[in-house]
Every structure is written in structure tokens, then in C-alpha cells.
Structure 1
Amino acid sequence: MTYTAIKIKLYPTEKQKELIDINFSCCRKVWNTLLAELTERNENGRLVLKDEYDFKKGGKLPSRFDLIKKLPPMKKEFPYLKKADSTALESEATNLRRAFDNWKNPNTKSGFPRFKRWQVNDDTYTSSAVYPRGVGNIRILSRNYIMIPKLKAVNFRCDVPINSHIVNLTVNLTNTNEYFASVIVDKDITGFNKTQQSIGIDLGVADMAILSNGKKYETVDYGNQYSERLRIWERKLARRQAEMKKEIAFNKKNDIEGGRLWFSEFPNYQKARIQVAKYKKKAMLQRQYRLQWISTEIVKQYDVIVIEDLSTKNMLKNHHLAKSISKQGWRIFRDMLQYKCDQYGKQLVVVNPYKTSQICPNCDYDDGKHLLNIREWTCPSCGVAHDRDVAGAQMILKKGLEELNK
């Protein structure tokens, strides 16, 4: 059995939207309250663990069960927490403990947990599925309705039938004011047939992915078709944001009756913000769809996939290529390959890209560093002509197979 996420779009009523906002608010309160109990500010103002919880000073962090036990007294102190889904509050306590575990793990590169601030959009909460008397609190009622704790029957749309055991559900409000839910199900997944084939992948800019067999997946800039409209709305957003901030500052300075103004009270600003987010989202979804298609095709055809470990952060320092590199989605592509290989019984090998573009894959001769404008070169040792990117992919494959054979 394998955990799989199925994304569905929700169409809640106004009453259900209010209940979703309550869950967002209560989960944020639980996170911030528990984090405040475990941490303090040091002399530099940085957030650190209290001595009794700091493992570096002999302390011990409470387990997730210990954090969950703090919820009943918290509900007595803050009665409005009872309005939220209890499993969502427990999930928030679990997530906080997981955040500390990730921070302690040097391989995750996660930062210290931070307090969550109130925001108008882009918020989430997770409800866990329980099955008293065999009936789940999260279940599919019909083709277009799903039962969610506290919300009851919510209208939804999904292209994939959900007929497996539901583990949990995460509700998300996006920056385009749309509601989605990620349903985690436990299901059997049939692996792809073994092909006994291996492939190396070189990542590039002109071509997003180049395979060691010579096949290339060209880069498609989906943002171009929306660039003009996006530019217009970004200008409107900048003007309206400046006007909004002036009004908020004026209101605060002169202590005008009515109290503090919120971003949600400026409909023109919100309209521009949503339009900008929608155009960016369209390009992102098209890019992700293509990456899904490419990664699935590769995983189906090859048992061993070798890819280079690129440091995108360092590459973005090149201001001439930064924009093009940021649109490629190399890390997303690698993550897709990783989880699909894990699901379907294939193997992904990640290698250091050092010198892969300057060594001849035929005779291992090092021709030295090649400038970016050199796309083809001929090995002076064996005389074989190379396409720069294809030769790089072949060297990546060679490195990966050597690592596997160690």
C-alpha cells in the first residue's frame, strides 16, 4: 500500500467558508501558542528553544503526544478553539513537532520554526480521517460531494475517482481566492514494467532536459502568452498597493475612528492582486503539466535514471540567465522523478555535475572548460564530434552507473 495525494477543487458555501476561516484561525493559534511555550528570545532577539527543551543543552523536546495533551487546557483558556475541527488542531501540534525534527536534521536544510502571521489568503489546515463504527468522518458522499469535519457536505470537482481508504485531507485557500483540498489515500499502485534500460539527463536552458540517447525536451516559456496582460495588472497592483499603504498610514497616524484598516477592506487592491496571481498561476500550471508528462514518460521507459545535482541558487547569481533558469523548474522536475521512481519501483541516481560538459564520454579525455556559446566540440584525442549537452548527459549516465557498481 502506498500513500497517494489526489487534489480536488472545493466549492464551499458562504457558511462553509466562514467555518474554514475559523479552522485556519484556530490552527494558527495552536501553533503560535505551543511555539511560544517552547521558545524564547535571546539577547540578539532571535527565537531559540528554552533551556529545558534545547537538546544541545541536555534538554528534551516534548513528543507530539505531549503537545497534543496540551490542547484540552488550551481550549479552556481559549473557548473559541472548540469551534474548530479537533483533528485539525492535533495535526497542527504534530506539524510543529515535525518542524523541529526537520530543523534538527542537517539533510533537510529547514530553518527554525517561526510564528504564523494572519494573512488574507494562502492558508491551510489538515483534518485526519477517523473511522468510528467503520464510517469515516472524511468520506465521499457522491460524485460531487465530500464530507469534511465541521463543514459537512462540500461540493467538489475531481477528474480522478476517489475510491480508496482516506488517511487525511488538507484544505487550502490559494492566493487566487480558490479553495482546494489534497486528499491522501492509501492504495495499491501497480509498478511499470521493467525495461532493463538506463538513461542520463542533462538539464539546460534552451532545452529543458537532454537525454544521453540524444533526445531533447525543448524549453517552453508559458509566461509569454500572458506577459502583456500580466504587466498591465502588475502596474495597477503597484499603484493600488501604494495608495492603500498611504491610506492605512494616514488612518493610523491620525487615529481615525473605525480602528485599523485591513488589506481585505480595499476591493480594488484585492482585484488587482487576484488578477496578477491568476496569470502567474496559469503559466505555472501549464509548466507543471508538461513536467509531469515528461517525467512520467522517462520513468516508464527506463529502470535507472541518472540526473545531475545542480545548485540553482548559485546559478541564479548569473544575471544574464537568472530569469530563464528560474522558469525551468529543474528542482520540481527532479522531485517528480524521485517520487515516481519510488512509487513504480525504479531508481533515481543523483551525481555531481563537475566537468561533465568538458570530458569526452568516448575516451574520457578532458578538453578543458567550454564557454556557453560552444554548443558542439570535437575531441582532440579520439576525434569524435560531440553535441555539448548530449555528451554531458552521457557523462552523467557514466558517473551514475559507476556509483551504482561501487
Structure 2
Amino acid sequence: RFFENCKKKVPGKKGFPRFQKNCRSVEYKQSGWKLSPDKKSITFSDKKGIGKLKLKGTWDLWRFDKKQIKRVRIVHRADGYYVQFCVSVDIKEELEPTGTAIGLDVGLKDFYTDSAGKTESNPRFYRTGEKRLKFYQRRVSRKKKGSSNRRKAVNRLGRQHLKISRQREEHAKRLARCVIRSNDLVAYEDLRVKNLVKNHCLAKSINDAGWYQFRKWMEYFGQKFGKVTVAVNPAYTSQNCSNCGEEVKKSLSTRTHTCKCGCQLDRDHNAAINILKRALGTVGHTGTWIVKDLNALGDLASTLPGSDLVEQAESLNKESPRL
């Protein structure tokens, strides 16, 4: 692979070949496994030697028929092993229209600012737990390489990282669900986080915010509840005036938008209004729904791509039951 990367001129560093690491998951489709009648255990009949495993936390597994289970996956996390069941269900839920549309501008000081001027605080889970992470990292560094004590210290560090990751994911999920249920249309920027983290001064804070996870859950709940989600081009949303459209150049340190027309708003509030206006005028976009046109009453006419989705144990990040 090292020589292939050199010939193909793959960008980035070309390290020496490495041995393949132990796999942290194994996946089965509709064969190679069998659930017990009471669904308290699962038996794997392939030649990997896994055999029969007892399941803990199967309180929601009884609701699904075996034909609905499309895949079974064994996953190794820092705090143990999990069995994930991928279930095919119709998850579309109809909600009463709220008649509201909202634009969201994500940031670092506040998690987002909406087009009404309301803000959601940024929890900063990594920054909050960073002191604890450093403590466990120092404990790992003091242990002898290859020793059982070092392996235990690495596992403890991994569990702390896993806790922060789950906190961030749960926050994004709960917030996205609330936003989608409260609005008929949600507009946000089509950000390329991979490019944003190239700024090493802000990379840690951007990764800690979890903008992409928030967007992923909004699009998921948009399909589930039949709401419109629109990702717009982020260019000049902070620079253009939301009142007159004039470009007002400003640096990141300038937090107030002031225009000649007399419009004076918080920088993020101004951007959120521009995002919403851009979404309402968008025909082809990246999002859950496709906005086709505005009817005579000014309401959005839209089409849903599909309602049959695959639900993995009722929640995308729900890992149950535990072995």
C-alpha cells in the first residue's frame, strides 16, 4: 500500500505498512444467528466460535418479529460488548403543522442562534471533561508498555472518551428532535466541517460542538415527522445585511452587524435570517425534502423521498442489549 500510494500520488503522509488491527465489530445478515424463544439469548452458528451469548436489556426486543430483523452486529466498546439489531419499520409520524419556519446559524460561543434571535448554549462536553481526560492520560503514560496495568489504564481512558462522545450525541439528538417538532421548515448552512477543522486554532472547539451530528439528527427527524429541512450555501450569510442585502465586511472578532440602512443586529442573528431567506428561495438543495415551489398562499409544496427507513433498535445510537 505504501508503494501504491506513492505511485497514485495520494495526498498526505505515506506511512510504513502496518499490521491490521483486531476487528471491533462483526456483522451478520439474516443467517448465521438464532434468537431463543424468550429472546434472552442469541446463538451464532458460524465458524467464528462465538456460540451462545446471554443478552441483557432486551425489554424492547420482544416488540419486533424475527422477519423485521435485517442485520445483527456485535460491537466492542470501551465499556463492554453490545449486540445491535437493525430492524426494518415504518417510522413516519404525522404532526400537526405549526406554521413556523426557522433558520439556524451554528457557532462556538452559542451552539446555534435562530432567526428569531433566540440562542442555545454550547455545552462544550469535551472542554468540561478535558481535565479528567488529562488525568487518565497521565496515568497511561506512567504505566509500563505491555503490562496489564497499562491495559487497564487505557481502558479507563477509553471509557471517559466514550462518555463524552455519548453526551455529545445525546445532546444533538434531543435538540434536533425539539427543533424539528416545533417548526415546519428548518434551514441551516451546508458546512464542510472537514475543511473548517483545518484551522488548528478552532479545530478542537469545532469538533467538540458536533455540528454534523446535529445536522444528521435534524435530517433524520425531518423524514420521521414529515418536516422540511434545507441545507443552504453558507457563503456570505454573515456578511450580507438581512434587511437590504448590502455586503458589510466584518472579521470574526466583530460580533455586531451594523449597516448603512440602520439595521443593527447580532452577527449570528443576522446570519440566521439570511439562511432562512435563502432556504425559502431555494429550488434544488441538499436536505431531507425537496422544495418544489411556493403555492398561491405562500405555503411550501414539497415531496417526501420515502417513509420506509431502517430503525436500529428504535434509535440510531441506541446500543442494546448489552452482553
TM-score past 0.5 threshold: yes
Offset, 1:365: 1.6
- Structure 1 stretches lacking a partner, 5+ long: 1-40, 49-113, 131-135, 245-262
Question: Is 1:328 matched up with 2:230?
Answer: no
Q: What letter matches 1:207 in structure 2? A: D
**Sequence identity (%):** 27
Question: Is residue 155 of structure 1 aligned with residue 114 of structure 2?
Answer: no
Query: Which digits, 9 at most, give the CA deviation of each residue in 1:113-149, with x for residues without a partner?
Result: x998132xx611111225xxxxx95447447x14242
The aligned counterpart of 1:344 is: 225
Alpha carbon RMSD of aligned pairs, Å?
Answer: 2.8
Judging changes above 3 Å, is the alpha-carbon distance between structure 1 residues 318 and 115 closer, same or farther for their aligned structure 2 residues? closer
**Per-residue CA distance 1:245-293 (angstroms, 9 max, x = gap):** xxxxxxxxxxxxxxxxxx5xx3112111111111111111111111111
Task: Give the conservation status (yes or no) of the 8 Å contact 2:79–2:159.
Answer: no
- C-alpha change, 1:363 and 1:304, in structure 2 (3 Å) is same
Task: Supply the distance in 2 between the matched residues of 1:181 and 1:349 (Cα, whole angstroms).
Answer: 34
Looking at structure 2, the residues matched to 280 and 123 of structure 1 have their Cα atoms a distance apart, in angstroms, of: 16
Kindly tell me the number of residue pairs found equivalent between the two proteins. 268
Q: TM-score, normalised by structure 1?
A: 0.60
Asked if residue 380 in structure 1 is aligned to residue 260 in structure 2, the reply is yes
In structure 1, which of residues 164, 176, 188 is the aligned counterpart of residue 90 of structure 2? 188
Is this contact kept in 2: 1:191–1:343, CA < 8 A? yes
Q: Distance in 2 between matches of 1:223 and 1:347?
A: 31
Distance 2:101 2:266 in 1: 20
Which residue identity does 1:365 align to in structure 2? E
- Secondary structure of 1:223's aligned partner: helix
**Cα-to-partner distance string for 1:315-341 (whole Å, 9 max, x where unaligned):** 223333222112011111111112222
In the alignment, the residues of structure 2 paired with residue 377 and residue 47 of structure 1 have an alpha-carbon distance, to the nearest angstrom, of: 49
Compared CA separation, residues 116 and 339, structure 1 to 2 (3 A): farther
1:126 corresponds to which residue?
27
Shift of 1:177: 4.9
Query: What does residue 397 of structure 1 align with?
Result: 276
Letter in 2 for 1:366: E
Structure 2 partner of 1:168: 71
Deviations along 1:154-185, one digit per CA (max 9) or x if unpaired, are 222256455122111111012x1511122111
Indicate whether 1:211 and 2:91 are aligned.
no
Q: What corresponds to 1:371 in structure 2?
A: 251
Amino acid at match of 1:373: S
Query: Are 1:313 and 2:272 counterparts?
Result: no
Instruction: Provide the residue aligned with 1:66 in structure 2.
Output: none
Asked which structure has the greater CA Rg, the reply is 1
Q: Label 1:162 to 1:220 Cα distance change in 2 as closer, same or farther (>3 A).
A: farther
The gaps in structure 2 that reach 5 residues or longer are 8-16, 46-50, 284-291, 294-323
- CA apart distance, 1:202: 0.7
Distance 1:192 1:384 in 2: 39
**1:45 partnered with 2:28:** no
How far 1:384 moved relative to its partner? 2.0
Higher normalized helix content (fraction of residues): 1
Listed one character per residue, the Cα deviations across residues 197-247 of structure 1 (whole Å, up to 9, x for unaligned) are 32211110011122112221110122344333321220222343xx42xxx
Structure 1 residues 192 and 374, CA, compared in 2 at 3 Å: closer, same or farther?
A: farther
Aligned: 1:238 with 2:141: yes
**Aligned equivalents of 1:289 and 1:177: distance in 2?**
17
In the aligned structure 2, how far is the partner of 1:185 from the partner of 1:306? 30
* Cα offset, 1:375, TM superposition: 1.6
Equivalent pair of 1:141/1:147 in contact (CA under 8 Å): no
| Residue 301 (structure 1) shift | 1.5
Asked whether the 8 Å contact 1:123–1:173 carries over to 2, the reply is yes
Using the alignment, how far apart are the partners of 1:140 and 1:205 within structure 2?
A: 49
Quick one: higher RCO (CA 8 Å, sep 6+), 1 or 2? 2
